[in-house]
Amino acid sequence: MTNEDSLIPAEARRAIGEQRTIELGEISLRDLQRYAVAAQDDSPRYFDVQVAGETAYRGLIAPPNMLTAMIGWEVGPDESALRADGLPQSTERRPPLRVKRVMGAGQELEFRNPVRPGDRFTRTDKVVEMTQREGRTGPMVITVTEQTYRNQSGEIAVICRSTSIAR
């Protein structure tokens, strides 16, 4: 296959292994409780200081997948700044490919430390691998990315490995 035939341009290949770290901001008690309500998880670990204090975590914590579920931490862009699929332009973490569609193909979450109210987070994004394969209906690109979420002390809270399929 020549470079012209590849769905993975040179720019995308160069991005493999590169890391980018962004400041996400602080998780407030209100943030984590609103997320728990939206996720329909009424565990006292998120709402009851006394009960949460008696758990192994010794205090209120956020639902474990909260960090990875957050698409954007800002108030939100104007509707005119959204992509056609309704997501903000800034959510794209993958290098550009010569494809029309990208779909999620799964996530693997590794929980290391609890998320507590008042914690501040950064996220480091890395493209781990890109592979072009031939599928039943034509070529596709399998991309594996990794997002590492660290708190203000540098402790890893969550590592998220995401796989996507682009056609």
Looking at residue 71, what is its pLDDT? 66
- Is 142 within 8 Å of 96 (Cβ atoms)? no
27 vs 118: CA distance, rounded Å: 5
Report pLDDT digits (tens) over 52-111. Answer: 999 999 999 999 999 998 866 666 677 787 777 776 665 555 567 766 778 889 999 999
Backbone angles phi, psi at 112, to 5 degrees: -110, -45
Q: Please say if the pLDDT value at position 1 is more than 60.
A: no
> Which domains are assigned to the chain?
10-73+99-166 (3.10.129.10)
44-53, 75-84, 124-133, 140-149 — which is least confidently predicted?
Answer: 75-84
- pTM (2 d.p.): 0.81
Q: Summarize pLDDT for 13-50 with one digit per residue, the tens.
A: 888 999 999 999 999 999 999 999 999 999 999 999 99
154 or 79, which is more confident: 154
